[in-house]
Chain A
Amino acid sequence: MQLLILTVVLLTLATLGYRLGRGRALASTGGNPRLLHSLPSYHGYYVAMWCGLPALLLVAAWLALEPSVVRMLVMSGLPADVQTLPEERLALLFNEVRLVASFGKAPSTPAVGVAAEQYLSLRQLSFAAMAVVSLVAAVLGLTAAQRWIQADLRARNRVEKVVSVFLVGCSTVAIFTTVGIVLSLLFESIRFFNAVPITEFLFGLHWSPQIAMRSDQVGSSGAFGAVPLFAGTLLISFIAMMVAVPLGLLSAIYMAEYANPKFRAIVKPLLEVLAGIPTVVYGFFAALTVAPFFRDLGISLGLSVASESALAAGVVMGIMIIPFVSSLSDDVITAVPQSLREGSFGLGATRSETIRQVIVPAALPGIVGGVLLAVSRAIGETMIVVMAAGLAANLTANPLEAVTTVTTQIVTLLVGDQEFDSPKTLAAFALGLVLFCVTLVLNVVALHIVNKYREKYD
């Protein structure tokens, strides 16, 4: 709240700077804007920027640094016997201090109470200092920039320079995100592989990540062989593709080659609706309707179908992916040149012969690329499997049994778990790393194929 007020004050100052700068620029030429190098408004922006930017950057830097500085100060104020505690305990203790200070929780020890008070006063002091410093910076910037204003100041060029720096900065966010993903996954995974050998993780056949809460309990080690998860993921994705590829491809072919425009205009958006429904809804549908349906069907056929069968999750996931396959295939099929169709019709081929023997083979690379993208989507899909697939890590190829997947395990390992350093939670990052790598490779390959295909017919 205080921060909000400070920001508003700074922004108001910047607005003031804009008006001052504009007015001063006009005044410097006696009210004739034609004598200025840049438009008066650029002079205004110029002053506003000098006023607002340094101050806001200062606030941002302050906010980024403040927590660690405050923490250090608070911790050094703690009694000596507390300071010798191991790192994790210290972290927990500091967390408690924060809770006590922010939410008025009762402190467990007097030392914590003292520290909490110190924490609060430090925070307040820090904020006051930040407010003063940033306001001073803003006012300094404002007065200085206002003095620099004169008719031949290249205000526009300076403003545009800053804007272009801002644009470049924004465009690097995508790169920082990727770097962030890679680093966080890699960093935590390496810690995991220190506890569990990477070979065991990649090739082990047994997965049971339940670790005892205390290290002295028996059977505390847990097992982290991820092969059953990979197998389960592949099984469910395979079932999904068995549903999505034929249905998606055939609908795309019908839409592109047979349907009249009216039919297309109605049905295409309807199919797209399938892609717009949140996955959590599919998960609910799978668990509530589809899984019991398959189980009852199995019973009537004398088969035993698990209530969380891979089949149910896979089929529902396949439905979700249909529009993905169909819209990609539709694009690819319509990109096949009309001359090939005419060539085939001219030889007396029927429409289906033309489609099967000329158009689909011609569009095949694009279709394959699209299917690969769909596979990557199936592998990374989470909510459907979390809600409809099981948790038991069965190593089986039987679609009627329950299997678990990589994404399911990531969610299960992390949900509700506050402890961050156990192999159990770190395993989620290792699984995430595998998931990231696999989908990345699939996407790169698929995009490459699709682009190659586009070039061919463009």
Chain B
Amino acid sequence: MTDLTSFSAAELAGLVARGESSAVEVTQAHLDRISAVDDRVHAFLHVDTEGALDAAREVDSRRAAGEPLGPLAGVPVAVKDVLTTKGIPTTAGSKILADWRPPYDSTIVRRLRAAGTVMLGKTNMDEFAMGSSTEYSAFGPTHNPWDLSRIPGGSGGGSSAALAAYETPLSIGSDTGGSIRQPGAVTGTVGVKPTYGGTSRYGLIAFSSSLDTPGPCARTVLDAALLHEAIGGHDPLDSTSIPAPVPDVVAAARLGASGDLTGVRLGVVREFAGEGAEPGVLAAFRAAVETLTKLGAEVVEVSCPHFQYALPAYYLIAPSECSSNLARFDGVRFGLRVGDDGTRSLEEVMSATREAGFGPEVKRRVMLGTYALSSGYYDAYYGQAQKVRTLISRDFTTAFDQVDALISPTTPFVAFPVGARTADPYQMYLADLFTIPSNLYGGPGISVPCGLADGLPVGLQVMAPTMADDRMYRVAAALESAVGPFTPPAL
């Protein structure tokens, strides 16, 4: 029998539904794969073997009882460690939460359980989702299955590496500036940032609340759509959740898979298609644009003049929000407490706790945000960045008057060697150059594998208007049907 870990989520759900394989067999195959390779990949921070097998047994007994099963019942999923899981460790990649077991499930995890998916465990990430390589995890880096000496992207490097290593067919990430799409691109997998407000932030440990968006990761566009449908939609527990149905992303992925893009107008973002990206990335992107044209799409060039200011605006807005959000880690209600020996004041204990519990990137961003929000600098930094955010959103709406969706490379460079960019934080920030505009605007973006450069995966990004997530699924599925598959070397 073919190894169960090689199937897509849609195929696995079919095998379980038809009784050709049990959910327990599917789950055990993935747990075995994790045992065999994760000491080298380190995609997981926690594997919930017993919980996964219990969930799988429940799916099998429901099927035996003739109960209806959802389209992903019995399919394993891995969850980025930034989403709370009741009674199961949730660290956000930080020492400050190393021993924390949340008393509640995030909405995303609750919906995953309701859909009958089987949660395998929690995946590695840059601390509090701040980073582009997973090297800022307090628990050691994740390695890219394409080349174990290279980074898997970040912050959700664990979720994407787990897919590329066939440890899971589905995973969940969170995207604040590209933390789903950039790891997807550099691991040759699919990563989706839904429309902001289209997926619930309840139980998502906050980094930058106006930007944070949980979303699906998978090896195929259809699998990402099925997962998106399962986790998306209005949540009364999130006051920024959009009270509207999830766009029909599954139908769009199926439509796109036919390989016909006749009548679709795509805009290449001029500012992202020239300098600023590696030659190999640009070559793969240009070849993909030709493919999209052959599939029937009309491709034009579109200018988004303020996108060049997206990175600086983001590195003011996100740190500002993070400096406020991370104030909750004060050693009082959860997590680490250091120095409480009866002689130190509350403030001294807080400062000692945060100094011991936070890593270097988190400290940089908290201080940067504190600076940008301080009186005297607020107008020039945070206030100005918010105005630039308006102009970037206007660039999007102007562009979407001319085209249905925008395309660009997902990231300027392929997976770089571990350690190559940690000495210069700003060099790390450049990894998100092309993904950040969608976060500032709030619209959806997807990264789909489009080619290889020097044997390493390159992703194409499709960006769509808010609540038009279906458009980008159609384009991505069409491209997927015409290129690839891109399979990493055997581990």
| Chains A and B belong together in one complex | no
A residues bordering B, Cβ < 8 Å?
none
B residues bordering A, Cβ < 8 Å?
none
